[in-house]
Amino acid sequence: MLLNEEEVKKLANLKKSLEERITEYEKVLNDLKICLKLVNDQLSKSSFKTAAEMITAPTPSQISTPKAGEVESILRALRTGVVLGKFIEGENYIRVEVSQNLKLDPEIPPLKAFLINKVLEGMRNADLEKVEEGQLPADRVIEYNVKIEDNIFKGLEIKNITDRRRIVELKNSIRWTLERMVEKTKATVNEA
């Protein structure tokens, strides 16, 4: 079916209008993403809960009784709100318990390459340098243990954490890592 010249002009104008609107919406979406990042950054500086955690109450199965002196919060994926696990702060330590329903393979990136090798080993190496310079006692160097059971990533224990900036950095890095692992797990399941 051939279009007459008038119909072709109308379609060309419609196409141009649609492309302009798409460009405009992409700019708005980009601005919204920047605003959301700024809000999350500000929240992470003043609180250890994201906006999603503050406005969404956890289900009873997600709540456990923290030990004396511990502060527990739910880790949620920023994009989807999926519960990733629990972030537990104690005196000089952090514990992360991955949600039991996730069943994450420890070989899925970016667990080793980013969280372990870059973030945790980076902090450990910085501490070791401070020990060599006499700025930190050797028994205060960050230590961590990755919990894996039946080839499933269960969580982390990180000791000698007292700096609030490190706590915020670790919480954000852990959340980001778990989000990526969940996304890659879903992509693998969808491809199968």
Average pLDDT over every residue of 22-45: 76
| pLDDT value of position 175 | 94
The answer, yes or no, to whether the previous bond of 137 is cis (omega within 30 of 0) is: no
Structure tokens at 26: 């992409």
Q: Where are the domains of the chain?
A: 1-46, 48-191
Q: pLDDT digits over 3-25, tens only?
A: 788 888 888 888 888 888 888 88
Average confidence (pLDDT) over 67-76? 84
Three-state secondary structure of 33-70: HHHHHHHHHHHHHHCCCCHHHHHCCCCHHHCCCCCCCC
Cα 59 to its chain centre, rounded Å, is 20
pLDDT band at 44 (very low <50, low <70, confident <90, very high): low
Pairing of strands 143-149, 71-76: unpaired
Retrieve residue 150's tokens: 């039946």
The pLDDT of residue 61 is 43
**192 or 41: which carries more pLDDT confidence?**
41
Binned at pLDDT 50, 70 and 90, residue 46 comes out as low
Give pLDDT, residue 69.
Answer: 76
Which of 5-19, 69-83, 138-152 is modeled with the greatest confidence? 138-152
Residues in contact with 142: Cβ distance below 8 Å, sequence separation at least 6, in sequence order? 120, 123, 124, 127, 158, 159, 160, 161
Q: Measured between alpha carbons, how far is residue 36 from residues 28, 76, 80, 96 in Å?
A: 12, 15, 14, 25
Q: Is the pLDDT of residue 192 over 70?
A: no
Between residues 36 and 59, the one the model is more confident about: 36
pLDDT tens column, 151-175: 999 999 999 998 889 999 999 999 9
Q: Residue 64: pLDDT above 70?
A: no
- Tokens in use for 111? 């667990």
- For 82-139, what is each residue's pLDDT tens digit? 899 999 999 899 999 999 899 999 999 999 999 999 999 999 999 999 999 999 999 9
